[in-house]
Amino acid sequence: MRNNDIDNLPPDQCGCGCTSVQDKAAVGILKPIHKYDPLSGDNAQGPAGAKGGLAALDNIGCDCGSAACSTPAAYAPGFDGAGQTRVGKYIGYGKENWELLLSFLVFFYGLFSGLENMSRFFVFAFAYILIARDVFADAVQGLFKGRMLDENFLMGIASLVAFAIGEYAEAVAVMLFFQVGQMAEHYALSRSKKSISALLDIKSEFANIKTPFGVKKVNPDDVSINDIIVVKAGEKIPLDGTVIAGNTNLDTSAITGESLPAAVQKDSVVYSGSINLSAVIEIRVEKDYASSTVSKILELVEKTNQNKAKTEKFISRFAKVYTPTVVATAVLIAVFPTLLLAEPFAKWIYRAAIFLVVSCPCALVISVPLGYFGGIGGAAKAGILIKGGNYLEVLKNVGAVVFDKTGTLTKGNFKIDRIDTMNSYTKEEILCISAHLEGFSNHPIAKAISDKYSAVINEDDVKEIKELPGKGVKGLFQGSHAIIGNQAMMDEFGVKVPLRNDQGTILFLAVDKVLSGILSITDEIKQGSAKGIAELKEAGIEQVVMLTGDRDNIAQSIAEKLGITRVYSQLLPHEKVEKLEEVMENVGKKQVVFVGDGINDAPVLSRADAGIAMGALGSDVAIEAADVVLMTDEITKVAEIIRISKFTSQIIWQNIVLALGVKAVIMVLGTVGIANMWMAVFGDVGVAIIAIINSGRAIYFSKSTG
């Protein structure tokens, strides 16, 4: 298809009725994706195409009964998604907003109008019924669902007590500010979830595939590898691939966190989820949808809520014990002084009501998960995906960071620097045999050899190919036994090789146990690796270690350039695990992080306290085994996620100390008669709002704030 054919696609291809590519880009050519609406509760189809939409995610959470706890787990990890009907109330412009506004007006009229006796009672009763009926409805619903002591129950009982003893204004105030607290919770959740929920919108709902009969719109799942797809200006790239025609700029911010557009042209590799900004391009698909970048990201995001931090789990357990304890204490405060000291019942039941209001654990059970959620969202904005709050918590106390070398600290873009011939073999023959042996391996060095060999590999020339991890490849080439690999490979097969001190990777080729040639292969240190190591040291990391299967002289040379003082070289995959465990023993109670990218790194990533995979170029196996994925492969991101973790932890503990401290003081003051209901309202709703606002800071982390 010619470019002008692409420009003249039928208008209904984009669903907007415009007549040119430029017009389509201007108005936005994608149809709205029907997805979960956290305010209306509509959940017919999740944007990730998950079974049952986002509601299919596990809901693991608290028992506080907060309306915010009805937010689906994908948006608010750790919150209970069951049993609340007030989802989204007072957000928007529905009748509930007018009820809240009317209640406030009636409340202030009752306060300042000077009404007395029955007139005052009826004014406050009207305001109370208007604002409290849904709270009581939810409290009753909670009773039937086994949540007897949720915050609706506590607030309902406390406000009824206040109303019964004639404290009408304070009873209405409890309910009004309780509802304002719900608004604050919803608003904070809505703001903090944006970075993560934005990731849920990166999936394209269609792909324009080229066929012999023209361009056809299909589901991305129906596109196969090597198919050609057309992506117009304004569209999202539906699948990973290589550009074969056209030049454009891409918005990759949802994938990498990078705000600047990326220029692409023919032969550029592009990732699904990126947005085409300027011109039509054609892409050869390299991965099916299930293996594409966007699919992997969505899978990681959907699993985020399943891994709760220890602090988060502790707060949930604490709330289950704390709430019944304070309710029992409130009963004792109301009853004992009256029975034992003959004190007025009205005085002590009022103090008990104060105790109930201030005791509500909402500030804790909402702000702590929200803090972790904000930290995960802040990391997502920077192109860092974290699989759960528990991993974010681990990263706050790191004693050592262990790096793989190839593909992590170095580019992994190997090239043959020199070929030395031996025993009458020519360079062309050495390269031919090497390429045929390595042609079936996906190792970066094998790719360097294949790239150097320009001729076609004849599969009939090679048989019985077998790769020995960490050593090399053996097989039959034109009937002769041939091996290619490192010195350990040669030693295993009894081939004597000369000692070499090249500042690169050395591969030896032997045919029928006779050394035939030596290939010197070089790699290049990634830009930013030295800076990333320096930032880790600035962040207080005590040990920075490098593990590699490469020769010691190469490893030491790389480590010296990067400022790494502890190096383990010439390691097989299982030996990397052993060395990692040595490091873990030496850091005491602190945590050890491993950063890698290759298939051979998967066991080490799984064994470390937290594994970080280089996501953009890393293998699928490594990404699956890791706990954190860096979408841009930048080493500086390792220090950044550690700073985000520490910053998030500070916020969470600030909230815990603030909530428990203020509540404890007001509980004591209320019991001895110094605090009133207004102070109790501040101790509950006011502290909750402060804690929620504080938690929201986690999503706006920057190096200066951390």
Across the range 652-669, mean pLDDT stands at: 88
42-51, 342-351, 426-435: segment of lowest average pLDDT: 42-51
pLDDT tens per residue, range 93-149: 445 667 778 877 887 888 778 777 788 888 888 888 888 887 778 778 877 776 656
Per-residue confidence (pLDDT) for residue 308, from 0 to 100:
52
Q: Do 405 and 425 belong to one domain?
A: no
Per the domain annotation, does 513 fall within a domain? yes
Same domain? 543 vs 462: no
Q: Which of 522, 544, 559 is the last residue of a domain?
A: 522
pLDDT for 535 equals 93
Q: Compute the average pLDDT of residues 688-702.
A: 78
Which SS3 state, helix, strand or coil, does residue 481 take? strand
Residue 175 lies in a domain: no
Residue 232 lies in a domain: yes
**Which CATH number belongs to the domain containing residue 393 in this structure?**
3.40.50.1000
Give the highest mean pLDDT range of 59-73, 353-367, 634-648: 634-648
546 and 511 housed in the same domain: no
Specify whether 531 is located in the same domain as 621. Answer: yes
pLDDT band, residue 244 (cuts 50/70/90): very high
Reading the block at residue 298, the tokens are: 């969505």
pTM of the model: 0.60
Domain boundary among 576, 610, 626: 626
- Residue 24: the pLDDT is 29
Question: In this structure, are 545 and 494 located in the same domain?
Answer: no
Calculate the average pLDDT of the chain. 75
Domain of 15, CATH number, reads 2.70.150.10
Q: Which of left, alpha, beta for 650 (phi over 0: left; psi -120 to 50: alpha)?
A: alpha
First to last CA, the chain: 52
pLDDT digit string, tens, across residues 420-455: 898 889 999 999 999 998 887 777 788 888 888 888
| Cα torsion angle, 633, 638, 641, 647, sign | negative
Residues for the chain: how many in total?
706
In a domain, 12, yes or no: yes
Q: What is the per-residue pLDDT for 48?
A: 33
> For the domain that residue 491 is a member of, what is the CATH number?
3.40.1110.10
Mean pLDDT of 394-421: 86
Q: Which residues of 421-451 are buried (b: 16+ CB within 10 A; e: fewer)?
A: ebeebeeeebbbbbbbbbbbbebbbbbbbbe
Tokens (6 digits) for 323: 């709430």
Q: How far apart are alpha carbons 221 and 242 in whole angstroms?
A: 18
In angstroms and rounded to an integer, the radius of gyration of the C-alpha atoms of the chain is 32
For residues 673 and 655, give the distance between their C-alpha atoms in angstroms, rounded to a whole number. 27
Sheet holding 228-231, edge to edge: 214-218, 207-211, 228-231, 281-285, 241-245, 269-270
Q: Is residue 687 part of a domain?
A: no
CA-closest candidate to residue 409, choices 132, 644, 595, 607: 595
**What's the number of domains the chain is made of?**
3
Supply 70's token pair.
């009805």
Choose one of 522, 549, 573: the last residue of a domain. 522
Say whether both 403 and 420 belong to one domain: no
Q: Are residues 589 and 440 in the same domain?
A: no
589/552 same-domain check: yes
The residues assigned a catalytic role are 404
Residues 479 and 436 in one domain: yes
- What sign does the CA torsion over 701, 702, 705, 706 have? positive
- Is residue 76 included in any domain, yes or no? no
Q: Are residues 399 and 471 in the same domain?
A: no
Residue with tokens 């959620």: 373
Domain assignment present for residue 394? The answer is yes
Question: How much is the average pLDDT of 149-166?
Answer: 72
Show Cβ contacts of residue 398 under 8 Å, excluding neighbours closer than 6 positions. 541, 590, 591, 592, 593, 610, 642
438 touches 416 (CB < 8 A): no
Q: Place 198 in a pLDDT band, splitting at 50, 70 and 90.
A: low
Q: What is the pLDDT of residues 174-184, one digit of tens each?
A: 777 777 766 66
Residue 301 located in a structural domain:
no
Which pair of tokens denotes residue 314?
A: 């502790």
pLDDT digit string, tens, across residues 495-548? 988 887 666 778 999 999 899 999 988 878 888 899 999 999 998 898 999 998
pLDDT the model gives residue 410: 86
Q: Which residue has the higher pLDDT, 624 or 581?
A: 581
Q: Which residue has the tokens 């293998």?
A: 619
**Do 456 and 530 lie in a common domain?**
no
Pick the more confident residue, 363 or 214: 214
Task: Say yes or no: 505 and 597 in one domain.
Answer: no
Q: Which residue has the higher pLDDT, 577 or 88?
A: 577
Domain that holds residue 450: 415-522
